[in-house]
Every structure is written in C-alpha cells, then in structure tokens.
Amino acid sequence: MKYSAARILWEGLTGHKGWKPVWRDPAPRPHYDIVIIGGGGHGLATAHYLAKVYGQRKIAVLEKGWIGGGNVGRNTTIIRSNYLLDGNEPFYEFSLKLWEGLEQDLNYNAMVSQRGIMNLIHSDAQRDAFRRRGNAMILNGADAELLTTEQVRNEAPFLNFENARFPIKGALMQRRGGTVRHDAVAWGFARSADSHGVDIIQNCEVTGFKIENGRVKGVETSRGFIGAGKVGVAVAGNSSKVMAMAGMRLPIESHVLQAFVSEGLKPIIPGVITFGAGHFYVSQSDKGGLVFGGDIDGYNSYAQRGNSPVVEDVAEGGMALMPIIGRARLLRMWGGIMDMSMDGSPFIDRTHIEGLYFNGGWSYGGFKATPASGHAFAHLLATDTPHDTAKAYRLDRFQSGAMIDEKGAGAQPNLH
Amino acid sequence: MLINHPLLGPRDAQEFTYLGDASLLNRPDGMAGGAAQAFHDYLYLRDNPTGEHRELWYHEQGDRSWLIVTRNVSTHEILKVELASDVALSQGAKP
Amino acid sequence: MSEQTNRLSGGLIDTSKSLQFTFDGRSFTGAQGDTLASALLANGIRLMGRSFKYHRPRGLISAGSEEPNALMEIGTGAYREPNTRATVVELFDGLTANSQNAWPSLKFDALGVNDLASNFLTAGFYYKTFMWPRAFWEKLYEPVIRRSAGLGSLSMQADPDSYDKGFLHCDLLIIGAGPAGLMAALTAGRAGAKVILADEDFLFGGRLNAEVEELDGQSSADWAARAVAELRSLPNVRLMPRSTVYGAFDHGIFGAVERVTDHLPATAKAGLPRQTLWRITARQSLLCAGATERMIAFANNDRPGVMLAGAMRAYANRWATTAGKRVAVFTNNDDGHRTARDLVAKGVQVVAVIDPRENVRAIAEYPLFKGAQVVGAKGRLGLKSISTRLSDGSLKSFECEALGVSGGWNPNVSLTCHQRGRPTWHDDIAAFVPGGTLPVGMSVAGAANGDMTTHSALQSGAEGAVAALLALGISATAPELPRADDTSINLQPFWYVAEGKSRKWIDFQNDVTVKDVKLAHQEGFRSVEHLKRYTTLGMATDQGKNSNLGGLAVMAEMTGQAISQTGTTMFRPPYTPVAMGALAGRSVGKEFKPTRLTPSHHWAERQGAVFVEVGQWMRAQWFPQAGETHWRQSVDREVLAVRKSVGVCDVSTLGKVDVQGPDAAEFLNLIYANGFAKLAVGKTRYGLMLREDGIAMDDGTAARLAEDHFVVTTTTAKAGQVYRQMEFVRQCLRPDLDVQLISTTDAWAQYAVAGPTSRLLLQKIVDPEFDISNGGFPFMSCAEITVCGGLRARLFRISFSGELAYEIAVPTRYGEAMIEALMAAGEEFGAVPYGTEALSVLRIEKGHPAGNELNGQTSPAMLGMGRMVSTKKDSIGAVLTRREVLSDPDGLRLVGFEALDAEKPLCAGSHLFAKDAIETAAQDQGWLTSAAYSPHMGKPIALGFLKRGDQRLGEVIKAANPLEGSTVQVRVVSPHFVDPEGGRLRV
Amino acid sequence: MSEIRLTQITAFGRVEAQTASFGDVTLTERPDLAIASVAARHGQESTVRSTLEQMVGGALEVSSFREGNRFSAFWTGPSQWFVMADHDDYETLAASLKETLSRAASITEQNDGWVGFDMDGTDCDAVLERLCNIDLSGFTSGRAQRTVIEHVSCFVLCRKQGCAYRIFCGRSYALSLWHALATTVASATAVAKLATH
C-alpha cells in the first residue's frame, strides 16, 4: 500500500477501513539465507538494504520483544555528521545523505528535519579543536560553518550571553544536521523490509548459536531453531550477552544514558544546540517538548533507568545555557543502554566464526548512524567485504593501535 | 545509588568516580613475554556481564579510597564492597 | 468583578479572607484555601483550556495534579509559568492566570479548525504524507506544524527566581498524607523513628478532606487535622506539605520538590527560594499516594463541565463549589453515588445518576437510572445537556451544567514502577496494583495498594509502618484504628460507551479517541509501547494517569485478550513534572561551576589583567598597558620582555602532588614512562606520563627534595586525572609500595621567573645564604630555600620558555606579596608580568607540547618523545605504546611550521596537504595544533602533526582551512624555533 | 628566624577574616589555623595514630575529629589525618610533626592548601542539609566527613551537633564556596523564618 495525501483523503472519506498492518506477523520459517538478530533501527535497516539494494531474499529479523523497542525508540533523535576522525566522518556523512533521501526511499514520513546543529565554543582551545573538526567535515564532503558569537546570537538569542560561567565564543554549525521522528524510523524500515518479503518476527528471543566446525548454522530461539546461511547481530544494549553465546568477549561495556523531555512548549529552539562545557544538549520536537540530555551515568548498567545526580547535572547545564527554561518542567526521563566501545566508535565486522557478523558498540551515536549502519552491514553480509565508509570499524583495531577515539579519552568507555 | 563504604558506611554514589571492571587490578607484567597480547586483553576486553559485576569505584569526594564494588548491573543491587588495596594485597600484588 | 455564583456553604476554605485574582484579564475573587480551579468554578467558569491537537474547548476534569485540561500560564513577565494545572495552584491575592494554546482567545480559537479536519488527522496520519516534494518538509509542512506545536509558552526571559537544593535522611519516608499516610506517620512517629511525611497538597489529609465521612465520630477532615497537629508536635517527624516525591531512584533515594513560595504573593517572597529540590535517602519508604479516578469514554465526553465524580465531590466538600447548579453523575460503581449524595446535601440539584449496573440503589434523594448509559453531551464551550440511553432502550436528555463520571479508581502506582516494578492486574477493583520488584525498601499502603476503603487505608498504613520499622529493627505497635467506612464500591468494569458516532475521548490533552486506538490495532501497533508511540496515548503532561488504562482496555477488546494479557501501564519519573530551575538549584549563571582563583588574582585584577578560564581557574591572559589597543600588542610585548629581560607568570594552577615514602622513587618509575629511580636529591626531571593504552596523558616535572620526598607537577587541566591515576597505581596495582600521596596544589603560590635577567632578579629575593649561581644551582636543580628574610620557599630551575628561568613557590598566603616583591625587584630589569597567552607563545616558540598536542590521541612517538619511553623497566603504557600504529616510523610527527607569507596568520585546526595536492580527505596529511604570531621570529608559526613530519624538514606544504576559506603555504621546520640546542637555559 | 618582609593575606585577598551573619547563623573564615597532613607509612598506622591521639587527647578512628588544648586533628582517609594548630605554629607545625613522628609518617604542610569556615547558630542544620549529603542525625560532635558542596570538595567537621561546624575547602575555591555558603545561609534562615510565621 502506498502512503500519500490522496490515500489519507480517501480513507478519511471511507471510514479508514482500508489501512493494513504496517508489517506482517509471520511465523518463523525453518531456514533463512540471512538472519538478523535484533529488530531495532539497525537490524531493520540492514534487512531493508539487504532486500532492496543488495537483492537478497529469504531474510528474517528476529526481535525478542517488539520492534523499535531498544535505542531507536529511546534516544534524543539527533542526526548529524560533525565528526573529526577519518574512520568516522565519511561513514556519518554517508548516513546523513541516506537520511536526506530516506522518506522517499521508504515511502514513510520519518520527519527528517534538517534545522541545523550548533556546537557551542567557549574557549580558544575549543575553537581550535572545532576548526580542525569543521575542516575534516568539509574535506569529507560534509557542510560546516564556524559561527561568531554574534551569529550564534542571531540563531539563538535566548542563550545565556550575559551572565555565563562559560561565555559563548562562537559555534561549529552543521546546517544539514537535525532531528528525525525516531519511532518512525523503525516503523518505516520495517514496513519497507516487510514489503520486500523480509519476515519480521517479534517476541522471538535468540537463546544460542548453532556453530559447527567454526561455521554458524543457525540460531536457537524461544520459538525454536531457525537455520541460517549467515547471521548478523545488531543488538545494541545486548551485544556482549549475545556474542558471549558465540564464545566471544568484546571491547564493550554497557552503560545507561538518560534522556529527558519537557512538557510541550511553544517552539523556541530552531535546531539542535550542544553545550559541551556543560554536558547538555537540546532540541525541540514538533510536539513542542524540549528534548535534552547529557552524559551517561557512568557505571555499567543493563537497567533502562538512571539516577538523580545526572538528572540534576543535566538540568544545571540547561539552566546555565538557557536560563529561560527555569519554569519549564521536565516531563519524563528515561534511560537507554549504550554499548560503549573502548574508543567510543562502533564495529561492523566479520567475526572469527564463519557466517557470523557483528554490528555494535555504537556508544551513544547509534541513532544517527541507522541508515548507514544498515547499508554497510547489508554490504558486509551480502558481499563479505566491508563497505567503503566502514572499513575502520574492525574488531581487531586495538591490536594494532588504530583506535578511533574522537574524544581522546582512552580505553575507558564511560568517558567517551 | 548508595555505596556502603567499608570504612565510612553508606555514601551517595555521587561522591565516587567510576573506572570499570575490577579485572583492571590484574595488570600483566610489562616485561614478560607475550605482554602485548596480555595488555590488549587486559585493557580492552570485557566480560560485560548482565548480572554480578565486580567494579572499581574511587571515593574522589571522600576518603580517596579505591573500592571494589560487587553489583548486579541489571538491578543495581550492591552485594559487596571492599577496599581495593585489601583485595590487591590478598591477590599478592608484586612483592 | 464577577460574583462567586457557584459558591456553596461549608468547606475547608476561609471565605472571610477574600482573595483577588485575574483569569484572561477578568478579575475574580476567591477564598483562602481555594485552588485556582476551585475559585474559577466558584465564579462560574468552566472553559479553562484547549486541547493539543484539535484545540477542543475543555474544562477541568480533576481536582489534582493529574489534570490534563486546565493548564494555564500563571504569573506575568519573567515570572510566567506555562502549563500549570489550575487544580494545584493555591490561590493567593494578586494571582494572574491566563489561558494558553488558544488564539485569539480561549472562546474563539482559530486552530479549532483542526477539529473540522479531524477525520483526516487520525493517529499517525503524518507518517503517511508530507513527503513530496522532498524540500517541502523543512520549508512548508514542518513550519506549519511547529506553529501549532506546544501548549504554553515560556516568557523568553531568564527565570528571576532562586531555587534551593538539599539532602534529607530518614528511617521512613511516607509519601502521601491521606488516611494511610497519616496513620503510618502516627505509628512510626510515636515509635520514635525518624519520619518524613511528604504530600503534594498544601493541606494534609488527602481524600479525608474531600469526603463527608466520620472517623471515630469526628468529621474525617477534623480527624486529619488532629493527626497533623500531633505529628507536628513530634520532633522526630518532619512534615513536608507542598512537596512532591517525584522519583524513586536506586537504593532508597528519592527526589522531591518542595514548592516553598509558589503560593505566596510576590511581596512575601523576597529572599526566599521559589522551590527546593530534596534528595531524600530513606532506609524504608511507604507509598501512600492514593488513587486516581478514571473517566468513561462516551461521545463528546470532553465537554467542559464533564469531570470526574470524585473531583466534583471534592470541589463541593472541600472547596464549597460546584461546576453547575444542575449536575448529573455517570458511574459504574457506588462511589459515584456518594458524589450525588454529597451534592444533594449541599443543595445542588442532581438531575440524574446514570448507572450501567442493574443491581444498585440510590443512597440519597436523586433520580437513579439503572442499566443506563450516557451516549452524548452537548454544549461546545460548556456542557448544556447529556443524552442517555435508558435501560428500556429509550433516549432521554438531561439538562445540566456538569456531569461527574466515575469509571473506578486506579491506584497511584507510579513510584513503584520507577525501578523494576511491573504493576499487576487486580480483578476486584479492575485496576493495576503495585507488582514486581518494588524500589528497595518500599512498601505500599492504602488506595495506592488497592485498599480502597478508608478503614483499609488506615489499617494498611499502620501495618505498613510497623512492618517497615521492623525491617530496621525498630519496634512499633499499630495504634487502635479509628472507626471508619469500610464498604466496597461494587465496581462493574465499564470502559467506554459503544453507542454514538462522535468521538469518545480517552487521552484528553493529546486528543486520542477510542477510534484512534482501534486504528492502531488495525495497522498492527498492538503492543502497549507501539500503541502509545503511534497514537501518542499517555504522552501528555499527565503521562497517561488519566488515559492509559482506558486505551489498554480498548486494545484488549480488539485483540480479544484480557487486559492483564494485553500489557501493563508503566510510569517513569517524574511523578509530576518538575521545574528545570528546581533541578538545577543554585548552580546557575556564574555559579554553574566553581571558580578557582590564583594567589595573584587580586593583584592581577588591579593590574587590569584580562582573564581566561582554564580548568575552573581564572588565569590572567594578558596584562594590557596604556596605549595598547589590541591584545596582540600586549602579548607580543610580554613575550619579547621574557626573551630580552625577564617576565613573571603565575603558574600556581599546575597540579602539585607531594609523593613521599621509602618507595617513592620506585612508584614514580612506574607512573612515568621515563626513568626516575636514579634522579638525585636536589634535581628535577621532566616526566612523561602515559595512559595504559600508550597515549600521552600528561607531562610535567618531578623534583626530588629528599631521598623519600618528591614534588610532582602536572598540567593545570589534568591535575585531577593524574592524581586519580596515581592513587589507582598506589592502591590497586602496587599496594605493597610504601608511598604516600597528597595534593598540595593550593598550598603554594608558584611563579615562573623567566628571561635572561631572571637570576639577577631572584638574587634580590632569595636570602643570601642560598647560592643560586649557575654553578651553585645549575639547570634542573631544586631546593628548599628562604626568601625575603626567612620565608620558606621552593626554587626549581626549570624552563617552559627556553630562557634561563626558575619557578619559585611560597606559601599561598604570601603569594600576592611575592609577586609584588618580584615585580619590585625586577623593575630595574624591565620585568613584566605575563599571562597565559604569552606563556603559550613562548612554549610554541620552544616547541613544548601542551593541551592541544596532549589531546588524548597522541603517542610519545608522534610527539617526538618515543625514545623517552624506557624499555628497561615496566611503566604504565609502555607496552601498548609500542603497537604498530602508535609507533609507526612513518606516522604523524610533531613538527614546527612557519608561514611563508609573514602577513598571513596560521590557524590551529588547519589541515595539512602536500603543496600541490587537492584538498580532500584522502590527501590529508595532518593538522596544525597550536598557532601563534611569534614576535621572536617576526612571523606566524605553528606546531602540528604531519605525516613523516620529522623526515620532511624544509619542505613547503599548505595549511588548508576551508572552513574559513583560507589556505596558506608553510615551511616544515623543527618545533624548536628558539635555541634548539638549549644553550640559553643553561647559562 | 629573621623578619619576613612579606605581608600575608587571606583567600579573599584581605588581611582580616571574612564574616557574615544571616538570621541566627554566623559564618567566619578561619585564616588563623596551621594545618599539616600526616600519612602513616607502612606498618606504622597504630604508632602514628596513638601519637596523634596523645596530642589531641582523644581517639582518632575513622571519621573522627578531636579538639585538644594545643592541637586538633581529624581523620581524612585510611591512615591519614589532618592536624591543626594555632596560627602561631604556622611556620613550625609540619616540621615539629616530622620531628615527633620521624620516619613513621609522611608529613606535608597544608597551611595554605585549605581554608576553613566556622558556621555557628541554631539553624545550622537547615543550612548544612541544603549544602551536602550528610546524614546529620548521625553526624555528632567530633565527627568529620569529606564530601562535596556545590561541586567543591570539602571537609565538614562537627564541632557541636546542630549548632557549630567547620567546613574546609581548597583555598583556591574560597570565593565560590563562600558564595554557596552565604547564599544558602541567607536562604535557609529565611525559610526557617517563614516556617515559624
């Protein structure tokens, strides 16, 4: 079924009787060519690109709960490609380009909204670092602008320019950055994958791998054994647990990242603003809620909830940056589990087990990566070679010292 | 969270700084053969379990003790708190 | 001014204290004890807001914090507070309220046209359209959508109020001061336990204040007041009215916000915080949060005047007001009948009680219609009539201004869900009760636990307190319970009325209807989370307190499953929304983070220094002198003075760690990459510290003052991280080493005295018995000395600038006097104070790495210090720094760059390319880390990392800065622009 | 000792101590304290502790604070204490401790590393509970606790439960901590007054 304004008009006039389920609810088949574990954004995107771009058939996505219930459904919806390092920037720029054509590709409006992202500058050293980054972005074909204080004031006059502990000295702006309606990403990819014949199987938890002679043969699940030619794992928040079933230890720790939304307010914030000096970033949704967050709580956790100190820390950052929000109220806080890698950058790689592929370690950067991650993982699964933009995301990079450490924080996941 | 400091009793976790898996206590010998692989595994690979986790916390805004906290990372329940130096000594830190 | 036409007699208000307020510019009066909502009702106002999506006219439905409709902007100017529930605003004299999300007025809202198109704007319609043409989303569709987004609006001015923050500890935290909470507090308070009793209301008592009931023969409100009086007399009980416990966090920690002065007129608030955020650490907690009544969905059940029956009763009993002279009740349980009874007793005309149950009796004089349902409501801006399908199938219309609806009561389980609790279904009350694993130490009593009668609430409160204290080893006995009502409400589940074509509202604020839930089901959004996310059910400011169960019930019907199989209703913090200002507390504006001042700060201020923040420190950046109009003039002058004569710079901000003990040298040997074991007493050595991953972490010096005593310095920014790592090594890796650490950063005022005449200057300061000649005190010496007539000081002969230089440290209280003494002594040499900018230029000229080079991504090899990493010993980071990428001989190297064109500045952050390369990522060969104009060289210079840089000295390449549209040619040179042989610092 | 020709100033750049009063609570800077840190070397914990206990005339176990006639001391960490004396001992405290404890301990002069503030008055607890996360009911006279106040690391000493405390912070933080203390005292005493009305 094609979605369009005309269709809405027709259904509106005929009692909305024609709308069909957005994806089917099939029973698992005994064998698939490719099984994707994880019905989140990345898994669903992988299935979509496998089917649509790489012409693969007989694909299943196995989801232990309901699709889109992981981090794609609990993030702060930001997309951007303002990365510094060679290993990252081409990949995230590829992702941003995919976002830009996503809705037409999927025939689903995920409300990709490029209202810009502004990283504020508070010191000369920070400007130097952002200049290096902005140049890296441009050299990789992305857009970047270095704004003066006055230009920042024009974009966001309500920021604290007068009485700030960290005066605003400019910003690195990426106008193509923005936000996306996060749940719709999962639904849109699911709808498209489904329409290309992918079986999306919910309430199907993988409980083990069948590995023979170093080759994966399929997966044990709560709904029985499912044979597979290849298995791709894309289970953010559960990577270590799932890969442990294949006997692997990963350079990953799982941490909780909290996010927050305020009550609905008349729009004030044009795009995304990040306040690195104060551990705070904010945007405003199309419903009017201020969506904001800060640092991860900082300790290993698989509980999708955080604690009060970070809530207060984020609020302090928010008030320091935008004292106009003192009387706005925080409506809801939630937590997502981040698979924080040892350098803060992800993995899209084969494993030492033939036919088993891993996609994970997205740290807190997974949402914006969704289309490129799906595309690159599909490429790897279909061709057994890494996608051009994802070559650096190797599992063995710490052996050689080829870390992709944007923050320079070292092998301590909670600092990335 | 509250961490029941073995000397000070329950203290708010906000006073502490987190490092990570307590296996970081078991630093390999840098002069031994195979040190490169041993250090790679020591520094980068993690069990990252979903249940009990022994981990290092530093009482930065307190008595400056490093602690080993045994905590269930799915429920956040804390099962045991020890002084890291006690554990390190009992494991036979280098003479 | 309007009359209070709907004011009844009695209530817990003081009508002798008349309070004036305005709503949408109209003036009204209310009474002490009113809420804004009750006062508006008393004045005959029913239309109080507009819904989010369709801008439907709405009135209040509740008398509590769960109110989804009556959201208003309170206050004016910078004090304006949007989205405030009129139902919880305590009326005060001079209160100003305005409606929101309506234009041009609440009565005639232009965006009400959305309602006309509602047939096309169903749940999730926006996912299916607005996709063509692609660019139109940002340009057209979204701006239109955003124009109608949101509810209230911020003032766009900085919040003028202050907020406090604090920490409380108790044995037992009791959340909610209704019958269960009061009884629990009496029980625990009398037992001597440390009790905190918190309630969001300004009046303790909960439903006891809203009912006409007797406890031991007293009115329930009187009983509550007496209980409160007793509790107030107990020193171990802390009463916290106007305090919402909003979150249950790990290990018995709760967040609470106390509204300290929101209820006071502006004149009474001076010097007081608006709200206080409390973090409460409770050994046990008892949740007595009561229950929330639920609506029954029927056609047009959102008309202003349709409200919850319990709220209608509360308004009559507690606030002596009614929404209309003629009211009706629609209920599926006996509780609704109490509303009819109480309103009749107050003289309000109850035109009908409509009850779908057959087996039911009236409990007062009112017309009862059994087996009947309300199938419609008329009156767009205020209810005029309801139509009712009677048990005989006939349709009957009742004229009324208000309708009380009761679909039963949902226990307020919110806080039980904040961690791992998962509510479970309870058939008796057709509602979810607390289930799963509750927050540590929490138990639940009263209606929150499904104990729905007053008697059972009192009993479970007392028993809950006894049990909670028992867990702490405190013995308590439950007091004798007052006699109280214990009758069941005989609920018959009834979720929505099937009849009627008009929309039946479930989530009032977000405009989610029964039909929307059915559409979600049709399109496959059947799990609770999908339902919520697709329709926005439960995502309004009440977070589904009023709507979740109704939506779930419809979904259960569609899937043919029981509600318990369909899912559960989960809540996340906060219980009710919390002001950002309160969460931030005092850490706002300039106080966002602490500021550290150097020992010479006040002196530097007097010199007119320009300051810059460096890792919380305020450091002098430069010292402008008369006639200097550009910072470069000041900095160049300071740099040249150091190179030619002498300058003084406050370097106290460097971290200083005292390392003592017999094994101190062995300890340093482990934490530094280079060797320290053999450093002689009286000597200082430059040290490079690595992280275990082999990346450079910090550099500094260590001075050996005695065999068992070193003073380690760190960079300003890394002082905390280095100290933490040192303690980690000491306690976790080598507890066998006998070494003691303590920071002394703040104890010493330390000044760099740099320049060719620095020794001459210092010889005037250092007491004569100390020989600081080149022979007596050569380069890299250190000593404990006295200055200025016996003041203990430390002297280090180290140099960051490449010139003959010293650092001298004195106790901080003498820091200001010391710099004055240094400047006075240096006057004859033309000594200048210099700031961080000159410091930076000097170190770039000398090729010393600093923060931009030690950025956590660079290895010793990249920094040109690969050989410093000793292979003869084990040290932190030594093994992993030998990895191929980090030690690649053809990798990035720190080198110097000088501009070919002296007029074109170099910019740190420029990327490096071969002279003729195209500027793309593939050709990228490095970047400039630090750049400055070098007055010494007379041109712009820079440091940077360049591929094989050390092998390319002399090559001309380009530094590209496409971000700012500039590309300049530079020559690759040694990073040591000044005195590469190091002769000057040894003279 | 010869005459030092330099003038000493407080952390606020003044000669006299900073004070302030709001309602019932008084804040007083204490620049008149000499301070040294003492850390026992391996195997010397009990020797060092008993020596210090004799100096202050009371036990110095974990979290203790003892005031003696000439010296006072408090526990700062495992096998570590801060010793305080009158300002007259400012120049000599560390040296004399070194003499007394010889090689049993590592001694470090801390005179100017920290700045102390005394807080006195009946509403002190209302102030302290707004500043730091200490369970005040168990924070009895003679207890010491390191904690954080408005992002600043502090030692809090209880001189008399409910009405007399001393707070130390790193000297460079003095102005920020003072601001936090003063605004909180003002606010807490105003709230206390509101409650009694």
Please tell me the CATH superfamily of domain C504-570, with its number: BFD-like [2Fe-2S]-binding domain (1.10.10.1100)
**According to the model, what pLDDT value does residue C139 have?**
83
Query: Between helices A182-195 and A41-52, what is the axis angle to 10°?
Result: 30
pLDDT tens per residue, range A238-253: 999 999 999 999 999 9
A113 forms beta bridges with A179
Beta-carbon contacts below 8 Å between A and C: 349
Taking CA–CA distances from D189, the nearest residue in chain C reads C272
Cα separation of D63 and D76, whole Å?
7
pLDDT in tens, C255-294: 999 999 999 998 899 999 999 999 999 999 999 999 999 9
Task: Give the model's pLDDT for residue B95.
Answer: 40
Average pLDDT score over chain C: 96
CATH number at residue A311: 3.30.9.10
Residue C864: how many other CB atoms lie within 10 Å: 18
Query: Please, which residues 190-249 of chain A have a Cβ atom closer than 8 Å to chain B?
Result: 240-241, 244, 249
Q: Can you give the pLDDT at residue C2? A: 58
Q: Any idea where the domains of chain B sit in the sequence?
A: 2-25+47-90
Q: Are residues A187 and A260 in the same domain?
A: no
C958 to chain D, minimum CA–CA distance in Å?
A: 44
Q: What digits encode the pLDDT tens for the residues A173-221?
A: 999 999 999 999 999 999 999 999 999 999 999 999 999 999 999 999 9
Asked if C813 and D112 come within 8 Å (Cβ–Cβ), the reply is: yes
Q: Do D77 and B63 touch (CB under 8 A)?
A: yes
Q: Residue A193 is encoded by which pair of tokens? A: 């994958």
Domain encompassing residue A204: 23-78+182-251+343-415
Tens of pLDDT, residues A363-377: 999 999 999 999 999
- The pLDDT assigned to C132 comes to 80
The answer to whether residues A266 and A365 belong to one domain is: no
- Which residue in the block uniquely carries the two structure tokens 């007699």? C9
Measured CA to CA, the distance from residue D95 to residue D84 in angstroms comes to: 13
The pLDDT value recorded for residue C568 is 85
Q: Select from B17, B46, B76 the Cβ nearest to the Cβ of A252.
A: B46
Q: Domain coordinates of chain D in residue numbers? A: 19-196
Kindly determine whether residue D146 and residue B83, on different chains, have CB atoms separated by under 8 Å.
no
Looking at domain C295-407, its CATH class is alpha beta
The 8 Å CB, 24+ separation contacts for C14-19 are: C15/C320, C19/C91, C19/C92, C19/C93, C19/C95
Q: Mind listing the pLDDT tens digit for each residue in C701-714?
A: 999 999 999 999 99
Terminal-to-terminal C-alpha distance of chain C = 91
The residues with which C784 forms a beta bridge, in sequence order, are C794
Average pLDDT over residues A299-316: 95
> Chain A closest CA to B6's CA: distance in Å?
20
CATH code of the domain covering residue A406: 3.50.50.60
Whole-angstrom distance, CA of residue C101 vs CA of residue C152: 6
pLDDT level of residue A71 (50, 70, 90 thresholds): very high
Same domain, A128 and A238: no
Chain C interface disruption, residue of A74, A77, A319, most C CBs within 10 A? A319
Q: What is the per-residue pLDDT for A162? A: 87
C59 vs C48: CA distance, rounded Å: 5
What pLDDT is recorded for position B4? Answer: 98
The CA-atom distances, in angstroms, between D100 and each of C329, D44, D94, D111, D153 are: 86, 13, 10, 18, 30
Q: What is the distance between the alpha carbons of residues A390 and A405, in angstroms, rounded to a whole number?
A: 15
Q: How confident is the model at residue B92 (pLDDT cuts 50, 70, 90)?
A: confident
- Asked if A251 lies within 8 A of B47 by C-beta distance, the reply is no
pLDDT at C527 > cutoff 60: yes
Q: How confident is the model at residue C522 (pLDDT cuts 50, 70, 90)?
A: very high
How many Å apart are CA C134 and CA A337, to the nearest integer?
Answer: 33
- Touching B (3+ Cβ pairs <8 A), the chains are A, C, D
Q: Is the complex ipTM more than 0.85?
A: yes
* CB of C505 closer than 8 Å to CB of C302: yes
Number of alpha helices (DSSP H) and beta strands (DSSP E) in chain B: 2, 6
Taking the C-alpha atoms of residue D97 and residue D105, their distance in angstroms, rounded to an integer, is 9
Asked if residue A89 belongs to a domain, the reply is: no
Confidence of residue D40 (pLDDT cuts 50, 70, 90): very high
Domain boundary among A341, A374, A402: A341
Q: What is the mean pLDDT of chain A?
A: 96
Q: Does D62 touch chain B (CB under 8 A)?
A: yes
- Contact list in C for residue B85 (CB cut-off 8 A) is 731-732, 735
- Chain C hits for B75, Cβ within 8 Å: 420, 437
The superfamily (CATH) of domain D19-196 is Probable tRNA modification gtpase trme; domain 1 (3.30.1360.120)
In this structure, the dihedral spanned by the alpha carbons of residues C600, C606, C609 and C611, taken in order and rounded to 10 degrees, is 60
Q: How far apart, in whole angstroms, are the C-alpha atoms of residue A282 and residue A317?
A: 10
Residue range B2-25+47-90, CATH number: 3.30.2270.10
pLDDT in tens, D87-107: 888 889 999 999 999 999 999
Interface of D with C in 84-113 (CB under 8 A): 91, 103, 106, 108-113
DSSP C573-636: S-SS-EEHHHHHTT--GGGSS--EE-TTHHHHHHTT-EEEEETTEEEEEE---TT--SHHHHHH
* A263 and A163 part of one domain: yes
- Do D153 and B64 lie within an 8 Å CB cutoff? no
| Domain assignments of chain C as residue spans, ordered by start | 1-160, 163-291+411-471, 295-407, 504-570, 622-653+747-842, 655-745
Query: pLDDT tens-digit profile of C711-740?
Result: 999 999 999 999 999 999 999 999 999 999
Give the residue from A341, A367, A401 where a domain finishes: A341
Residue B7 in this model has a pLDDT that exceeds 80: yes
Question: Which chains are within 8 Å of C by 3+ CB pairs?
Answer: A, B, D
Half-sphere exposure of C566 (CA within 13 A, CB side): 26
Smallest CA-to-CA distance from C516 within C501, C502, C527, C506 is with C506
Mean pLDDT throughout B48-58? 98
Residue A288: what pLDDT? 95
CATH number of this structure's domain C622-653+747-842 = 3.30.1360.120
The CATH homologous superfamily for domain C655-745 is: Aminomethyltransferase beta-barrel domains (3.30.70.1400)
Q: Is residue A204 domain-shared with residue A322, that is, in the same domain?
A: no
To the nearest whole Å, the CA of D146 is away from the closest chain B CA by 5
From B14, B15, B65, residue closest to D78, measured CB to CB: B65
**Of A275, A308, A341, which marks where a domain is finished?**
A341
D77 CB neighbours in chain B (<8 A) are: 63-65
pLDDT at site D2: 44
Transcribe C744-787 into DSSP letters.
Answer: -GGGEEEEEEESTTHHHHHHTTB-TTS--STTTS-TTBEEEEEE
**pLDDT over threshold 50, residue D1:** no
Nearest CA in chain B to A304: B74
* Contact present, C141 and C132 (Cβ < 8 Å): no
Sheet holding D65-67, edge to edge: D65-67, D71-77, D80-86, D33-40, D105-109
What average pLDDT does the segment A230-245 reach? 97
- B12 vs D: CB within 8 A: yes
Separation of CA A308 from chain center: 25
CA distance D42 to chain C (A): 6
Residue type, A339: D
D137-194, pLDDT tens digit by residue? 999 999 999 999 999 999 999 999 999 999 999 999 999 999 999 999 999 999 999 8
Distances (CA, A) of C768 to C775, C786, D91, D142: 15, 9, 20, 46
Check whether residue A116 and residue A262 sit in a common domain.
yes
Specify the 3-state DSSP secondary structure of A237.
Answer: coil
Are A240 and A302 part of one and the same domain? Answer: no
| Contact status, residue C406 vs residue C293, Cβ threshold 8 Å | yes
Kindly state the helix (H) or strand (E) to which residue A193 belongs, with its residue range. helix A182-195
Q: Beta strands B17-21 and B9-12: pairing type?
A: unpaired
Task: Judge whether C163-291+411-471 and C504-570 match in fold.
Answer: no
The mean per-residue pLDDT over the stretch C526-531 comes to: 94
Are A263 and A333 members of one domain? yes
A155 plus A269 within the same structural domain: yes
Which amino acid is residue C231, in one-letter code? L
pLDDT tens readout for residues C317-343: 999 999 999 999 999 999 999 999 999
The SS3 of residue A117 is: strand
Residue C406 to residue C424: CA distance in whole angstroms: 22
All residues of chain B having their beta carbon less than 8 Å from the beta carbon of residue C873 are: 31
Torsion angles phi and psi, residue D23, rounded to 5: 50, -120
Q: Which of C229-243, C560-574, D137-151 has the lowest mean pLDDT?
A: C560-574
**Number of domains chain A is built from:** 2
Q: Is B82 on the interface with C (CB under 8 A)?
A: no
CA distance B93 to chain C (A): 6
Which pLDDT does position C599 carry in this prediction? 97
Least confident of A96-100, C147-151, C610-614, D136-140: C147-151
Same domain, yes or no, for A257 and A334? yes
CATH of C163-291+411-471, one of 3.50.50.60, 3.40.50.300, 3.20.20.140, 1.10.3720.10: 3.50.50.60
Task: Give contacts of A242 with chain B, Cβ < 8 Å.
Answer: none
Distance from CA of A343 to the nearest CA of B (A): 9
Please state the separation of Cα C636 from the chain's center in Å: 44
Q: Supply the pTM of this predicted model.
A: 0.97
Q: According to DSSP H, which parts of C120-278 are helical? A: 136, 142-147, 179-190, 220-233
Residues of C in contact with D33 (CB under 8 A): none
Separation CA D69–CA D59 (nearest Å)? 14
